[in-house]
Amino acid sequence: MAVRFVTLVLAAMVALAGCGSGVVTDPAANTSTGMNAPGSTEGPPPPPGVSKADPSLLPILTTSALTSAPDKITTAVPNLANARAFNEGMWLVRGAFLRAYSWGAKGEFVLDWNLVAASQDTIGVLLQGRTVRDGKVTVAPASVWFDATTNRVASGAALIKPGSWGAFTAAVVASAKDAPADKLKEALASEMAPRGNGPALAFSSNGDLLVDFGIHTVSQAEGTYVVRLKADQVSGWLSGLGLRAKDASAKPSAFNPATITGPPKPEPETAANAATPSASAKSPAASAAASGTPSAGPAPVVDDRPNIGVVPDCRKLKCAALTFDDGPYPTTTGQVLAGLTKGKVSATFFALGTSISGNKGLLLKSALAGYDIQSHSSVHDMMTKKSDAALKDQITKNSDAIRAVTGYTPWLLRPPYGDRNARVNQAIGAQAAAVAIWDVDTEDWKTKNGATTAARAAAAKPGDIVLMHDIQPSTANAIDDIVGGMTKNGLTVVSMAELVQPGAWQYGVPYCAAIGRASATC
Protein backbone atom coordinates (compact mmCIF):
# COMPACT_ATOMS: atom_id res chain seq x y z
CA MET A 1 0.00 0.00 0.00
CA ALA A 2 1.05 3.58 -0.51
CA VAL A 3 0.68 6.28 2.12
CA ARG A 4 1.20 10.03 1.75
CA PHE A 5 2.68 11.82 4.73
CA VAL A 6 2.19 15.58 4.77
CA THR A 7 5.56 17.12 5.48
CA LEU A 8 5.18 20.85 5.86
CA VAL A 9 8.79 21.01 6.99
CA LEU A 10 10.94 23.99 7.60
CA ALA A 11 7.98 26.08 8.71
CA ALA A 12 10.43 27.73 11.04
CA MET A 13 14.16 28.13 10.79
CA VAL A 14 15.92 30.30 13.29
CA ALA A 15 19.53 30.74 14.26
CA LEU A 16 20.77 29.37 17.54
CA ALA A 17 22.89 31.83 19.44
CA GLY A 18 26.61 31.37 19.17
CA CYS A 19 26.70 28.44 16.71
CA GLY A 20 24.78 29.45 13.60
CA SER A 21 22.49 26.45 14.04
CA GLY A 22 18.85 26.21 13.16
CA VAL A 23 15.68 24.84 14.71
CA VAL A 24 13.51 22.84 12.35
CA THR A 25 9.82 22.43 13.12
CA ASP A 26 7.84 19.65 11.45
CA PRO A 27 4.14 20.20 12.21
CA ALA A 28 3.29 16.73 10.88
CA ALA A 29 5.47 15.12 13.52
CA ASN A 30 4.81 17.82 16.12
CA THR A 31 8.45 17.88 17.18
CA SER A 32 11.26 20.39 17.25
CA THR A 33 14.91 19.47 17.18
CA GLY A 34 17.94 21.71 17.49
CA MET A 35 20.25 21.08 14.56
CA ASN A 36 24.01 20.86 15.03
CA ALA A 37 23.87 22.11 18.61
CA PRO A 38 26.61 20.72 20.87
CA GLY A 39 25.53 17.27 22.03
CA SER A 40 22.81 17.02 19.38
CA THR A 41 22.79 13.75 17.45
CA GLU A 42 19.70 13.40 15.32
CA GLY A 43 17.19 15.47 13.42
CA PRO A 44 13.38 15.28 13.34
CA PRO A 45 11.84 11.80 13.41
CA PRO A 46 11.75 9.73 10.21
CA PRO A 47 8.43 9.15 8.43
CA PRO A 48 5.88 7.19 10.48
CA GLY A 49 6.52 3.47 10.42
CA VAL A 50 10.27 3.59 9.88
CA SER A 51 12.21 1.82 12.62
CA LYS A 52 14.32 3.85 15.01
CA ALA A 53 17.44 2.80 16.93
CA ASP A 54 18.78 4.44 20.07
CA PRO A 55 22.07 6.27 19.31
CA SER A 56 23.38 5.05 22.67
CA LEU A 57 23.83 1.66 20.97
CA LEU A 58 26.75 3.33 19.22
CA PRO A 59 28.60 5.08 22.06
CA ILE A 60 31.35 6.08 19.63
CA LEU A 61 28.84 8.00 17.47
CA THR A 62 29.20 11.76 17.06
CA THR A 63 27.82 14.42 14.72
CA SER A 64 29.77 16.36 12.09
CA ALA A 65 28.22 19.76 11.40
CA LEU A 66 28.63 22.19 8.52
CA THR A 67 26.38 25.21 8.79
CA SER A 68 26.07 28.86 7.87
CA ALA A 69 23.24 30.97 9.27
CA PRO A 70 23.72 33.79 6.71
CA ASP A 71 23.48 31.25 3.87
CA LYS A 72 20.50 29.52 5.52
CA ILE A 73 22.31 26.18 5.30
CA THR A 74 22.35 23.71 8.17
CA THR A 75 23.75 20.19 7.88
CA ALA A 76 24.60 17.36 10.24
CA VAL A 77 25.76 13.82 9.50
CA PRO A 78 26.84 11.03 11.87
CA ASN A 79 30.44 9.96 12.37
CA LEU A 80 31.72 6.78 13.95
CA ALA A 81 35.09 6.56 15.68
CA ASN A 82 37.59 4.32 13.86
CA ALA A 83 35.21 3.70 10.94
CA ARG A 84 36.83 5.65 8.13
CA ALA A 85 34.73 4.19 5.29
CA PHE A 86 31.51 5.06 7.13
CA ASN A 87 32.71 8.59 7.87
CA GLU A 88 34.04 9.29 4.38
CA GLY A 89 30.76 8.02 2.95
CA MET A 90 28.74 10.36 5.13
CA TRP A 91 30.87 13.38 4.23
CA LEU A 92 30.69 12.56 0.53
CA VAL A 93 26.91 12.15 0.64
CA ARG A 94 26.69 15.46 2.51
CA GLY A 95 28.75 17.07 -0.26
CA ALA A 96 26.46 15.62 -2.93
CA PHE A 97 23.40 17.05 -1.15
CA LEU A 98 25.03 20.46 -0.87
CA ARG A 99 26.05 20.45 -4.55
CA ALA A 100 22.53 19.53 -5.61
CA TYR A 101 21.21 22.40 -3.52
CA SER A 102 23.80 24.89 -4.81
CA TRP A 103 22.97 24.02 -8.42
CA GLY A 104 19.45 25.42 -7.92
CA ALA A 105 18.02 28.75 -6.85
CA LYS A 106 18.76 30.22 -3.45
CA GLY A 107 16.56 29.25 -0.55
CA GLU A 108 16.94 27.39 2.73
CA PHE A 109 18.49 23.96 3.16
CA VAL A 110 18.66 21.52 6.08
CA LEU A 111 20.24 18.07 6.03
CA ASP A 112 19.45 15.94 9.07
CA TRP A 113 19.60 12.26 9.95
CA ASN A 114 18.17 9.47 12.05
CA LEU A 115 19.62 6.18 13.18
CA VAL A 116 17.12 3.57 11.96
CA ALA A 117 19.01 0.32 12.56
CA ALA A 118 21.92 -1.02 14.57
CA SER A 119 23.49 -4.39 15.29
CA GLN A 120 26.99 -5.64 15.98
CA ASP A 121 27.95 -5.37 12.28
CA THR A 122 25.24 -3.27 10.56
CA ILE A 123 24.18 0.37 10.78
CA GLY A 124 21.31 2.11 9.01
CA VAL A 125 20.98 5.89 8.67
CA LEU A 126 18.13 7.81 7.06
CA LEU A 127 19.17 11.22 5.73
CA GLN A 128 16.66 13.89 4.75
CA GLY A 129 17.62 16.89 2.65
CA ARG A 130 14.94 19.56 3.01
CA THR A 131 14.81 22.61 0.79
CA VAL A 132 12.51 25.64 0.84
CA ARG A 133 12.39 27.88 -2.25
CA ASP A 134 9.72 30.53 -2.70
CA GLY A 135 7.61 28.85 -0.04
CA LYS A 136 7.77 25.46 -1.77
CA VAL A 137 9.13 22.59 0.33
CA THR A 138 10.92 19.58 -1.13
CA VAL A 139 12.32 16.64 0.82
CA ALA A 140 14.87 14.23 -0.63
CA PRO A 141 15.37 11.10 1.52
CA ALA A 142 18.40 8.83 1.29
CA SER A 143 19.12 5.69 3.28
CA VAL A 144 22.78 4.83 3.87
CA TRP A 145 23.77 1.41 5.17
CA PHE A 146 27.10 0.36 6.64
CA ASP A 147 28.15 -3.29 6.40
CA ALA A 148 31.08 -3.80 8.79
CA THR A 149 31.68 -7.34 7.53
CA THR A 150 32.80 -5.92 4.18
CA ASN A 151 33.53 -2.35 5.36
CA ARG A 152 31.16 -1.07 2.67
CA VAL A 153 28.97 2.02 2.68
CA ALA A 154 25.90 1.30 0.57
CA SER A 155 22.71 2.90 -0.67
CA GLY A 156 19.28 1.47 0.00
CA ALA A 157 19.39 -0.43 -3.29
CA ALA A 158 21.98 -2.76 -1.72
CA LEU A 159 19.23 -4.21 0.50
CA ILE A 160 17.88 -6.02 -2.56
CA LYS A 161 19.95 -8.86 -4.00
CA PRO A 162 21.18 -8.88 -7.61
CA GLY A 163 18.60 -10.15 -10.06
CA SER A 164 15.63 -9.20 -7.90
CA TRP A 165 15.27 -5.49 -8.62
CA GLY A 166 12.85 -6.12 -11.47
CA ALA A 167 10.49 -8.15 -9.28
CA PHE A 168 10.85 -5.60 -6.49
CA THR A 169 10.02 -2.74 -8.90
CA ALA A 170 6.93 -4.57 -10.15
CA ALA A 171 5.74 -5.08 -6.58
CA VAL A 172 6.18 -1.39 -5.72
CA VAL A 173 4.28 -0.31 -8.83
CA ALA A 174 1.47 -2.78 -8.12
CA SER A 175 1.18 -1.57 -4.52
CA ALA A 176 1.08 2.12 -5.50
CA LYS A 177 -2.02 2.18 -7.64
CA ASP A 178 -2.59 5.90 -7.06
CA ALA A 179 0.81 6.98 -8.44
CA PRO A 180 1.80 6.97 -12.14
CA ALA A 181 3.61 3.75 -13.02
CA ASP A 182 6.05 5.53 -15.31
CA LYS A 183 7.08 7.94 -12.54
CA LEU A 184 7.57 5.07 -10.10
CA LYS A 185 9.65 3.06 -12.57
CA GLU A 186 11.75 6.10 -13.43
CA ALA A 187 12.49 6.78 -9.77
CA LEU A 188 13.24 3.13 -9.01
CA ALA A 189 15.73 2.99 -11.89
CA SER A 190 17.50 6.11 -10.60
CA GLU A 191 20.35 6.48 -8.13
CA MET A 192 19.55 7.48 -4.59
CA ALA A 193 19.14 11.13 -3.71
CA PRO A 194 20.64 13.57 -4.24
CA ARG A 195 22.36 12.35 -7.45
CA GLY A 196 19.08 10.84 -8.54
CA ASN A 197 15.50 10.61 -7.34
CA GLY A 198 15.64 6.99 -6.22
CA PRO A 199 13.79 6.19 -3.00
CA ALA A 200 15.26 5.55 0.43
CA LEU A 201 14.80 1.96 1.61
CA ALA A 202 14.33 1.18 5.28
CA PHE A 203 12.38 -1.25 7.46
CA SER A 204 9.60 -1.03 9.99
CA SER A 205 10.09 -2.70 13.35
CA ASN A 206 8.05 -5.71 12.16
CA GLY A 207 10.17 -6.25 9.03
CA ASP A 208 8.04 -4.54 6.40
CA LEU A 209 10.10 -2.74 3.74
CA LEU A 210 9.32 0.98 3.40
CA VAL A 211 10.11 2.57 0.05
CA ASP A 212 10.31 6.31 0.76
CA PHE A 213 10.08 8.64 -2.24
CA GLY A 214 10.80 12.32 -1.91
CA ILE A 215 8.22 15.07 -2.22
CA HIS A 216 7.17 15.68 -5.85
CA THR A 217 9.17 12.65 -7.06
CA VAL A 218 6.30 10.35 -8.02
CA SER A 219 3.34 12.51 -6.98
CA GLN A 220 2.51 16.20 -6.95
CA ALA A 221 0.87 15.88 -3.53
CA GLU A 222 2.44 18.01 -0.81
CA GLY A 223 4.03 15.14 1.06
CA THR A 224 6.44 12.25 0.85
CA TYR A 225 5.14 9.12 -0.81
CA VAL A 226 5.89 5.85 0.98
CA VAL A 227 5.12 2.38 -0.34
CA ARG A 228 5.00 -0.40 2.26
CA LEU A 229 5.76 -3.98 1.23
CA LYS A 230 5.01 -6.75 3.69
CA ALA A 231 7.89 -8.66 5.24
CA ASP A 232 6.88 -12.03 3.80
CA GLN A 233 6.56 -10.50 0.34
CA VAL A 234 10.13 -9.13 0.22
CA SER A 235 12.02 -11.81 2.17
CA GLY A 236 13.14 -13.67 -0.96
CA TRP A 237 14.48 -10.48 -2.56
CA LEU A 238 16.71 -9.33 0.28
CA SER A 239 20.49 -9.46 -0.02
CA GLY A 240 22.72 -10.63 2.82
CA LEU A 241 23.00 -7.01 3.91
CA GLY A 242 19.25 -6.64 3.54
CA LEU A 243 18.56 -9.57 5.84
CA ARG A 244 20.93 -8.21 8.49
CA ALA A 245 19.45 -4.72 8.08
CA LYS A 246 15.97 -6.13 8.63
CA ASP A 247 17.08 -7.79 11.87
CA ALA A 248 18.96 -4.66 12.97
CA SER A 249 15.77 -2.65 12.43
CA ALA A 250 13.47 -5.08 14.25
CA LYS A 251 15.71 -5.61 17.28
CA PRO A 252 18.41 -2.93 17.45
CA SER A 253 21.49 -3.94 19.42
CA ALA A 254 24.92 -2.54 20.21
CA PHE A 255 27.38 -2.05 17.37
CA ASN A 256 30.77 -3.74 17.79
CA PRO A 257 33.62 -1.75 16.15
CA ALA A 258 35.75 -4.91 16.15
CA THR A 259 33.58 -6.27 13.33
CA ILE A 260 34.95 -3.64 10.92
CA THR A 261 37.29 -5.23 8.42
CA GLY A 262 39.37 -3.39 5.86
CA PRO A 263 39.98 -2.39 3.23
CA PRO A 264 36.45 -2.41 1.75
CA LYS A 265 35.47 -5.67 0.07
CA PRO A 266 33.05 -6.26 -2.81
CA GLU A 267 29.50 -7.28 -2.08
CA PRO A 268 29.48 -11.11 -1.84
CA GLU A 269 26.40 -11.46 -4.06
CA THR A 270 28.08 -9.70 -6.97
CA ALA A 271 30.93 -12.21 -7.18
CA ALA A 272 30.71 -14.51 -10.20
CA ASN A 273 28.47 -17.53 -9.54
CA ALA A 274 27.92 -16.42 -5.94
CA ALA A 275 24.25 -15.55 -6.30
CA THR A 276 21.32 -17.79 -7.09
CA PRO A 277 19.52 -17.03 -10.37
CA SER A 278 16.19 -15.27 -9.94
CA ALA A 279 13.08 -17.41 -9.85
CA SER A 280 11.91 -16.01 -13.18
CA ALA A 281 15.06 -17.17 -15.01
CA LYS A 282 15.54 -20.71 -16.25
CA SER A 283 18.46 -22.30 -14.43
CA PRO A 284 21.54 -23.40 -16.39
CA ALA A 285 20.97 -26.96 -15.20
CA ALA A 286 17.43 -26.96 -16.59
CA SER A 287 18.65 -25.47 -19.86
CA ALA A 288 21.38 -28.09 -20.10
CA ALA A 289 18.92 -30.90 -19.43
CA ALA A 290 16.62 -29.61 -22.17
CA SER A 291 19.44 -29.38 -24.69
CA GLY A 292 21.20 -32.56 -23.70
CA THR A 293 24.48 -30.72 -23.03
CA PRO A 294 26.49 -30.92 -19.80
CA SER A 295 25.97 -28.14 -17.30
CA ALA A 296 28.91 -25.89 -16.46
CA GLY A 297 27.30 -24.76 -13.19
CA PRO A 298 25.15 -21.77 -12.32
CA ALA A 299 25.60 -18.65 -14.42
CA PRO A 300 26.25 -15.31 -12.72
CA VAL A 301 23.17 -13.26 -12.04
CA VAL A 302 22.92 -9.97 -13.88
CA ASP A 303 22.90 -7.14 -11.37
CA ASP A 304 19.78 -5.22 -12.35
CA ARG A 305 19.89 -2.72 -9.47
CA PRO A 306 20.77 0.97 -9.78
CA ASN A 307 24.05 2.03 -8.19
CA ILE A 308 24.34 0.40 -4.76
CA GLY A 309 27.15 2.72 -3.67
CA VAL A 310 26.99 6.24 -2.28
CA VAL A 311 29.35 7.76 -4.85
CA PRO A 312 29.22 7.50 -8.67
CA ASP A 313 29.90 3.97 -9.89
CA CYS A 314 33.17 4.65 -11.69
CA ARG A 315 33.47 0.99 -12.62
CA LYS A 316 30.72 1.66 -15.16
CA LEU A 317 31.02 5.40 -15.78
CA LYS A 318 33.94 7.10 -17.53
CA CYS A 319 35.04 9.03 -14.45
CA ALA A 320 37.91 11.48 -14.32
CA ALA A 321 38.85 13.41 -11.20
CA LEU A 322 39.19 17.18 -11.52
CA THR A 323 41.52 18.67 -8.90
CA PHE A 324 42.72 22.18 -8.05
CA ASP A 325 45.79 23.09 -5.98
CA ASP A 326 47.05 26.07 -3.96
CA GLY A 327 43.82 27.89 -3.13
CA PRO A 328 41.62 29.35 -1.89
CA TYR A 329 42.45 32.60 -3.63
CA PRO A 330 40.21 35.69 -3.47
CA THR A 331 40.15 36.69 -7.14
CA THR A 332 39.90 33.27 -8.81
CA THR A 333 38.51 30.50 -6.57
CA GLY A 334 35.02 31.99 -6.59
CA GLN A 335 35.07 32.05 -10.38
CA VAL A 336 36.12 28.39 -10.47
CA LEU A 337 33.31 27.50 -8.06
CA ALA A 338 30.80 29.33 -10.24
CA GLY A 339 31.94 27.39 -13.32
CA LEU A 340 31.76 24.03 -11.55
CA THR A 341 28.31 24.88 -10.23
CA LYS A 342 27.13 25.97 -13.67
CA GLY A 343 28.46 22.75 -15.19
CA LYS A 344 26.98 20.65 -12.37
CA VAL A 345 30.15 18.67 -11.79
CA SER A 346 32.21 17.73 -8.76
CA ALA A 347 35.89 18.46 -8.01
CA THR A 348 38.52 18.40 -5.27
CA PHE A 349 40.25 21.48 -3.92
CA PHE A 350 43.63 20.70 -2.37
CA ALA A 351 43.76 23.69 -0.04
CA LEU A 352 47.08 25.20 1.05
CA GLY A 353 47.52 26.39 4.62
CA THR A 354 49.03 29.77 3.71
CA SER A 355 46.08 30.36 1.35
CA ILE A 356 43.51 29.28 3.93
CA SER A 357 44.89 31.86 6.34
CA GLY A 358 42.86 34.99 5.71
CA ASN A 359 40.51 33.18 3.29
CA LYS A 360 38.57 30.86 5.61
CA GLY A 361 35.31 32.37 4.39
CA LEU A 362 36.15 31.31 0.84
CA LEU A 363 37.05 27.81 2.02
CA LEU A 364 33.70 27.63 3.82
CA LYS A 365 31.96 28.81 0.66
CA SER A 366 33.60 25.95 -1.27
CA ALA A 367 32.50 23.42 1.35
CA LEU A 368 28.95 24.80 1.52
CA ALA A 369 28.74 24.45 -2.26
CA GLY A 370 29.45 20.74 -1.74
CA TYR A 371 32.99 20.58 -3.07
CA ASP A 372 35.56 18.17 -1.72
CA ILE A 373 38.26 19.86 0.38
CA GLN A 374 41.52 17.99 0.90
CA SER A 375 45.01 19.03 2.01
CA HIS A 376 47.97 20.50 0.14
CA SER A 377 49.89 20.81 3.46
CA SER A 378 50.42 24.00 5.40
CA VAL A 379 53.19 25.55 3.24
CA HIS A 380 54.28 25.06 -0.36
CA ASP A 381 57.67 23.57 0.52
CA MET A 382 59.50 20.41 -0.52
CA MET A 383 58.38 17.84 2.01
CA THR A 384 61.42 15.61 1.45
CA LYS A 385 63.64 18.43 2.78
CA LYS A 386 61.83 18.63 6.12
CA SER A 387 62.88 17.05 9.40
CA ASP A 388 60.52 14.46 10.82
CA ALA A 389 59.11 16.97 13.33
CA ALA A 390 58.68 19.71 10.71
CA LEU A 391 57.09 17.24 8.31
CA LYS A 392 54.53 16.18 10.89
CA ASP A 393 53.78 19.83 11.67
CA GLN A 394 53.33 20.64 7.97
CA ILE A 395 50.75 17.87 7.70
CA THR A 396 48.80 18.24 10.93
CA LYS A 397 48.62 22.03 10.97
CA ASN A 398 46.75 22.13 7.68
CA SER A 399 44.53 19.17 8.55
CA ASP A 400 43.48 21.03 11.69
CA ALA A 401 42.74 24.19 9.69
CA ILE A 402 40.57 22.29 7.21
CA ARG A 403 38.72 20.39 9.94
CA ALA A 404 37.91 23.65 11.72
CA VAL A 405 36.00 24.78 8.62
CA THR A 406 34.59 21.57 7.09
CA GLY A 407 34.02 19.44 10.18
CA TYR A 408 36.23 16.60 8.93
CA THR A 409 39.92 15.76 8.77
CA PRO A 410 41.07 15.45 5.13
CA TRP A 411 42.01 11.91 4.12
CA LEU A 412 43.93 12.87 0.97
CA LEU A 413 47.10 14.97 0.99
CA ARG A 414 48.86 16.22 -2.10
CA PRO A 415 52.52 17.04 -1.43
CA PRO A 416 53.59 20.37 -2.95
CA TYR A 417 55.30 19.72 -6.32
CA GLY A 418 54.37 16.04 -5.86
CA ASP A 419 57.61 15.81 -3.89
CA ARG A 420 57.68 12.60 -1.86
CA ASN A 421 59.73 9.61 -0.83
CA ALA A 422 59.16 6.64 1.44
CA ARG A 423 59.61 8.76 4.56
CA VAL A 424 57.12 11.38 3.36
CA ASN A 425 54.61 8.68 2.38
CA GLN A 426 54.93 7.13 5.82
CA ALA A 427 54.49 10.47 7.57
CA ILE A 428 51.35 11.24 5.56
CA GLY A 429 49.97 7.78 6.29
CA ALA A 430 50.68 8.18 9.99
CA GLN A 431 48.34 11.19 9.93
CA ALA A 432 45.52 9.17 8.33
CA ALA A 433 45.82 10.29 4.73
CA ALA A 434 46.65 8.81 1.35
CA VAL A 435 49.18 10.50 -0.96
CA ALA A 436 47.30 12.22 -3.77
CA ILE A 437 49.34 12.59 -6.97
CA TRP A 438 48.06 12.87 -10.58
CA ASP A 439 48.59 11.49 -14.07
CA VAL A 440 47.32 14.42 -16.19
CA ASP A 441 49.27 17.61 -15.56
CA THR A 442 47.68 20.45 -17.48
CA GLU A 443 50.69 22.67 -16.61
CA ASP A 444 48.33 25.62 -16.37
CA TRP A 445 50.84 27.33 -14.08
CA LYS A 446 53.40 27.21 -16.90
CA THR A 447 51.41 27.88 -20.06
CA LYS A 448 48.91 30.31 -18.49
CA ASN A 449 46.78 29.50 -21.52
CA GLY A 450 43.15 28.56 -20.83
CA ALA A 451 42.63 26.89 -24.21
CA THR A 452 45.64 24.63 -23.67
CA THR A 453 44.50 23.78 -20.16
CA ALA A 454 41.00 22.92 -21.37
CA ALA A 455 42.32 20.74 -24.21
CA ARG A 456 44.60 18.79 -21.90
CA ALA A 457 41.81 18.24 -19.38
CA ALA A 458 39.40 17.12 -22.12
CA ALA A 459 41.94 14.51 -23.26
CA ALA A 460 41.76 12.73 -19.90
CA LYS A 461 40.90 9.04 -19.87
CA PRO A 462 38.65 7.18 -17.41
CA GLY A 463 40.39 6.87 -14.05
CA ASP A 464 42.69 9.85 -14.61
CA ILE A 465 43.40 12.48 -11.97
CA VAL A 466 43.69 15.91 -13.60
CA LEU A 467 45.86 18.59 -11.99
CA MET A 468 45.31 22.33 -12.28
CA HIS A 469 45.32 25.36 -9.98
CA ASP A 470 42.43 27.54 -8.85
CA ILE A 471 44.86 30.42 -8.22
CA GLN A 472 45.58 30.77 -11.96
CA PRO A 473 43.49 33.47 -13.70
CA SER A 474 43.77 31.69 -17.05
CA THR A 475 42.30 28.53 -15.51
CA ALA A 476 39.50 30.44 -13.78
CA ASN A 477 38.65 32.24 -17.04
CA ALA A 478 38.54 28.93 -18.92
CA ILE A 479 36.54 26.93 -16.36
CA ASP A 480 33.44 26.70 -18.58
CA ASP A 481 35.55 25.30 -21.44
CA ILE A 482 37.36 22.92 -19.08
CA VAL A 483 34.14 21.45 -17.73
CA GLY A 484 32.41 21.53 -21.12
CA GLY A 485 35.29 19.80 -22.90
CA MET A 486 35.50 16.99 -20.38
CA THR A 487 31.76 16.31 -20.36
CA LYS A 488 31.52 16.59 -24.16
CA ASN A 489 34.08 13.78 -24.38
CA GLY A 490 31.82 11.56 -22.28
CA LEU A 491 33.64 11.95 -18.98
CA THR A 492 31.82 11.98 -15.66
CA VAL A 493 33.70 14.67 -13.75
CA VAL A 494 34.15 13.71 -10.10
CA SER A 495 36.29 14.66 -7.13
CA MET A 496 39.33 12.52 -6.39
CA ALA A 497 37.57 11.30 -3.25
CA GLU A 498 34.63 10.04 -5.36
CA LEU A 499 36.84 8.21 -7.84
CA VAL A 500 36.71 5.14 -5.56
CA GLN A 501 34.36 3.84 -2.88
CA PRO A 502 34.67 5.35 0.61
CA GLY A 503 37.60 3.92 2.54
CA ALA A 504 39.40 2.57 -0.52
CA TRP A 505 42.30 5.06 -0.63
CA GLN A 506 44.87 3.52 1.72
CA TYR A 507 46.85 5.66 4.12
CA GLY A 508 50.43 6.39 3.11
CA VAL A 509 50.03 4.98 -0.41
CA PRO A 510 50.69 7.34 -3.36
CA TYR A 511 48.03 7.25 -6.11
CA CYS A 512 48.31 8.68 -9.62
CA ALA A 513 45.02 7.26 -10.93
CA ALA A 514 41.95 5.33 -9.85
CA ILE A 515 42.50 2.08 -7.99
CA GLY A 516 42.33 -0.79 -10.45
CA ARG A 517 44.38 0.92 -13.13
CA ALA A 518 47.85 -0.47 -13.79
CA SER A 519 49.23 3.01 -13.15
CA ALA A 520 47.19 3.59 -9.97
CA THR A 521 50.09 3.52 -7.52
CA CYS A 522 53.11 5.61 -8.36
* DSSP code per residue over 155-186: EGGGGBPTT-HHHHHHHHHHH-TTS-HHHHHH
Point out the least confidently predicted range of 97-111, 296-310, 381-395.
Answer: 296-310
Separation CA 307–CA 465 (nearest Å):
22
Strand partners, 145: 124, 154
Predicted confidence (pLDDT) per residue in 233-248, tens digit? 999 999 999 999 999 9
CA dist list (Å): 35 to 42, 51, 57: 8, 21, 21
CB 309 within 8 A of CB 294: no
Q: Residue 286's pLDDT is what?
A: 39
Separation CA 171–CA 231 (nearest Å):
13
Predicted confidence (pLDDT) per residue in 4-15, tens digit? 443 333 333 322
Separation CA 421–CA 369 (nearest Å):
34
Separation CA 263–CA 254 (nearest Å):
23
**Torsions phi, psi of 493, nearest 5?**
-85, 120
Predicted confidence (pLDDT) per residue in 303-355, tens digit? 999 999 999 999 999 999 999 999 999 999 999 999 999 999 999 999 999 99
Q: Residue 285's pLDDT is what?
A: 39
Predicted confidence (pLDDT) per residue in 435-484, tens digit? 999 999 999 999 999 999 999 999 999 999 999 999 999 999 999 999 99
Q: Residue 47's pLDDT is what?
A: 75
CB 97 within 8 A of CB 233: no
Among residues 353, 321, 336, 340, the alpha carbon closest in space to that of 473 is found at 336
Q: How many helices (H) and strands (E) does the chain have?
A: 15, 22
Predicted confidence (pLDDT) per residue in 159-207, tens digit? 999 999 999 999 999 999 788 999 999 999 999 999 999 999 999 999 9
Q: Residue 215's pLDDT is what?
A: 86
Rg (CA), the chain: 23
Among residues 71, 77, 96, 72, the alpha carbon closest in space to that of 24 is found at 72
Exposure string of 483-504, with b = 16+ CB inside 10 Å and e = fewer, is bbbbeeeebbbbbbbbbbbbbb
Q: Catalytic positions, please?
A: 325, 469
Among residues 252, 229, 21, the alpha carbon closest in space to that of 115 is found at 252
Mapping DSSP to helix (H, G, I), strand (E, B) and coil, where does residue 7 land?
A: coil
Is pLDDT at 277 greater than 80 in this prediction?
no
